[in-house]
Structure 1
Amino acid sequence: MWPTHGAQALVLIVDDNPENLTVIGELLHPEFSVRAANGGRRAIDLAQLHPQPDLILLDVMMPDIDGFEVLRQLRAMPATAAIPVLFLTALDDADSEAHALRLGAGDFITKPIRAPSLLARVRTHVALKQARKRLDTGPLHAPSAAGWQHSGLGLLQQLARSCHPDGQRHLEQVAGVVAVLGEELRRSGVYPEAHAPGWLQALVQAAPLHDIGNAAVPERILAKPEALNAGEWNAVRAHARLGADALVQLTVQDGPQPTLVRCAREIARSHHERWDGRGYPDCLAGLAIALTARVTSVADAFTAMLAPRPHRPALSLAQAREAIRDGRGQQFDPAVVDAFEARFDALAALMAAPATAVLDEPGLAAGLAA
């Protein structure tokens, strides 16, 4: 139906409605190679053919076997178990979505489709699949910032921008805030580990990966304006573990794991832990939480408060400052909040700066080089 281009990612579309196959295929074809199946059994056969699809868009209600059974069989076969599957269906009930997520679906997209949204989700999941593939092919070396940018983690940094509602702007702000907080912690001397060689550089480069696991959380949940139900909340909480899992295979030869790689994993897994032990995913408390994650927790919360969300408007600088203060000793490390207070004027200026200037805090370059 559509010509295959070797350099493009391959998407398998599964739907018993020929019109749906045509419409979705034409939407994806300029950017992806496309393969189509008009039923569940055919989909299982095509998923095993070389080249295997990088992503499967799967309908639920089909006459031979339904999409849930297709996914169950795909997950049971080693050759197809790791292929990302997004449901694209007319079903819109919470039970069907919860069942799909339990089976291992990456997303549950309801018809009628919105072309920009579908394209964004396909791009995100294909990019994550490709990044994981690069991590699976062998050890990656990330001994320096330059190595980081050209490794699988560099691709993950690009993916991180598509996983957050504020995209590049939020990630740049988080990097800028952790840089200022880390520099202040070094100046105060409260945590000697902040003086370790490469610690601050690694923190600034790794912090933007904090929400990389959001690529596996359905868009409908991330954009929901109402309160999340228990199943949806569990899906959101899973992003911390999934983000760390995406980085777990990074290793280096001839030496210990570099600060940069360790830092990325710490932050991805633990940036939602709380000082009082009531966070997730591991319910860590106090100094048991990595310092990199404790710093990123404050930076992420502060910058997120200043941007609107589906369930609330943006907070003012004064309101965000008060919320961080209120979290001292409960959600946040007291010493990090003290650093936040000590450098609040600089942080306020950082939030008002244009995107390209977000890391231009005076004196910061010297601090990063130290």
Structure 2
Amino acid sequence: MNEVTKQTVLVVDDTPENLDVIAGILKKNYKIRVATNGMKALKLADNASPPDIILLDIMMPEMDGYEVCQELKKNPRTARIPVIFVTAKGDVADETRGFELGAVDYITKPVSPPLVQARVKTHLALYDQERYLDSLVAERTKALEGTRLQIIRRLGRAAEFKDNETGMHVVRMSHYSRIIAEAMGMPEDYCDLLLQSAPMHDIGKIGIPDSILLKPGRLTDDEWVTMRKHPEIGALIIGDHDSELLKMAKIIAQNHHEKFDGSGYPNGLAGTDIPIEARIVAIADVFDALTTERPYKKAWTVEKAIDVIQQDAGSHFDPDLVEIFVQELAKVLEIKEKYAETVESIDDQLQRVVITEDS
């Protein structure tokens, strides 16, 4: 087995002699990384090349092994890495706590080399099988996801046509949202859900009378009361479902007009009480609206739109997300150019809405 194909074992122990023992047992068949404390272990686990398995001591200063395991399982990027506790704490209560925290096995010191080799080999094989099965599921559901994405985006387009908007708005703003989420370090499956659910943000406009939605002039106070009902209408249209995608779509539809300072609607939420998905979509939606020509206005320049969004950081928008959006502006502009408005027919536009990650 060459070095490139070897799986990686992260060994965590505050005693160098113990690290040497475990490394000596496993180094022939695996790449070994070591950490002498919990914080270093978490950093090594949460990087671009994570370990395939972690052997974790319990009795360490500052952050013990139980705390390290808890943090690993809380982080979506490290939660699935198998953890084996290797420790002198051999009481049944200690083992029980370890398994409750998500460890897959428990080895007591002093260790038996054949036992360590066998346990590591077994759990790596199980982890490999789990990942393989996940890949099969992902492959077999790809066509279904494509169909689902098409339906969701067409529903989003239905709301746009009702609102006298045109073109690729839901495509662009959903990609802008994903760019923000990726820059935040969100897991890939979360970013996919956001991309697919964001197009339904304004589905509630279907329930707003045309006399208000298409009014060329300023709305009266009573008309604004009606207009501001569209987030709640959208939430009712989407409804309550077990689907994670529809759960997120409902959250976005209901909350994307909330403002960071609490002055938004429908519930006057403020700060981090506003769901993160809605805070992300708010920026993406407004940027695209400002920089796109609509029947009632000319397109703003990117520079002017960014100035306004930065001025509204902390009032309308989450300031941390605004900073991320500006940092990722080059990627945003690539999407803006790729899915620019055209004079296509509606049918052609709808065909182009069906976008996969391979496109």
User: Following TM superposition, by how much is the alpha carbon of 1:301 offset from its aligned partner in structure 2, in angstroms?
Assistant: 0.3
Residue 333 (structure 2) aligns with:
348
Residue 308 (structure 1) aligns with:
293
Are 2:150 and 2:353, in contact at CA under 8 Å, matched by a contact in 1? no
**TM-score where L is the length of structure 2:** 0.52
Matches within 5 A, 1:56-95: none
Matches within 5 A, 1:219-298: 219-251=210-242, 258-298=243-283
Which residue identity does 2:258 align to in structure 1?
A: E
Give identity over the alignment, percent.
30
Which residue identity does 1:280 align to in structure 2?
A: Y
Cα distance change of structure 1 residues 288 and 181 upon mapping to structure 2, 3 Å threshold: same
Are 1:157 and 1:209, in contact at CA under 8 Å, matched by a contact in 2? yes
- Describe the superposition over 1:299-352 as per-residue Cα deviations: whole angstroms up to 9, x where unpaired: 000000112345432211111111111111110011110111111122123212
Residue 202 (structure 1) aligns with:
193
Residue 207 (structure 2) aligns with:
216
Cα distance change of structure 1 residues 159 and 145 upon mapping to structure 2, 3 Å threshold: same
- Describe the superposition over 1:88-141 as per-residue Cα deviations: whole angstroms up to 9, x where unpaired: xxxxxxxxxxxxxxxxxxxxxxxxxxxxxxxxxxxxxxxxxxxxxxxxxxxxxx
RMSD over aligned Cα, in angstroms? 3.0
Supply the distance in 1 between the matched residues of 2:294 and 2:190 (Cα, whole angstroms): 32
Mind listing any 5+ residue stretches in structure 2 that lack a counterpart? 1-140, 341-348
Which residue identity does 2:204 align to in structure 1?
A: G
Question: 1:160 aligned to 2:151?
Answer: no
- Describe the superposition over 1:198-252 as per-residue Cα deviations: whole angstroms up to 9, x where unpaired: 211110000000000011112232222211001211121111000011112323x
Residue 310 (structure 2) aligns with:
325
How many residue pairs are counted as aligned between the two chains?
207
Supply the distance in 2 between the matched residues of 1:226 and 1:219 (Cα, whole angstroms): 13
Q: 4+ residue runs of structure 1 moved beyond 4 angstroms?
A: 144-151, 153-156, 355-360
- Describe the superposition over 1:264-322 as per-residue Cα deviations: whole angstroms up to 9, x where unpaired: 11100000000101100111011111111100000000000112345432211111111
Cα distance change of structure 1 residues 147 and 358 upon mapping to structure 2, 3 Å threshold: closer
Which residue identity does 2:319 align to in structure 1?
A: P
Supply the distance in 1 between the matched residues of 2:172 and 2:147 (Cα, whole angstroms): 23
Cα distance change of structure 1 residues 159 and 345 upon mapping to structure 2, 3 Å threshold: same
Which residue identity does 1:352 align to in structure 2?
A: E
Cα distance change of structure 1 residues 358 and 305 upon mapping to structure 2, 3 Å threshold: farther
Which residue identity does 1:283 align to in structure 2?
A: G
Which residue identity does 1:270 align to in structure 2?
A: N
Question: 1:183 aligned to 2:182?
Answer: yes
Cα distance change of structure 1 residues 284 and 145 upon mapping to structure 2, 3 Å threshold: farther
- Describe the superposition over 1:8-34 as per-residue Cα deviations: whole angstroms up to 9, x where unpaired: xxxxxxxxxxxxxxxxxxxxxxxxxxx
Are 1:351 and 1:358, in contact at CA under 8 Å, matched by a contact in 2? no
Greater Rg by CA:
2
Supply the distance in 1 between the matched residues of 2:237 and 2:177 (Cα, whole angstroms): 22
- SS of the residue 1:198 aligns to: helix
Supply the distance in 2 between the matched residues of 1:225 and 1:340 (Cα, whole angstroms): 31
Cα distance change of structure 1 residues 241 and 149 upon mapping to structure 2, 3 Å threshold: farther
Mind listing any 5+ residue stretches in structure 1 that lack a counterpart? 1-143, 187-193, 252-257
Residue 133 (structure 1) aligns with:
none
User: Following TM superposition, by how much is the alpha carbon of 1:365 offset from its aligned partner in structure 2, in angstroms?
Assistant: 5.1
Supply the distance in 2 between the matched residues of 1:145 and 1:236 (Cα, whole angstroms): 37
Matches within 5 A, 1:122-133: none
User: Following TM superposition, by how much is the alpha carbon of 1:260 offset from its aligned partner in structure 2, in angstroms?
Assistant: 1.4
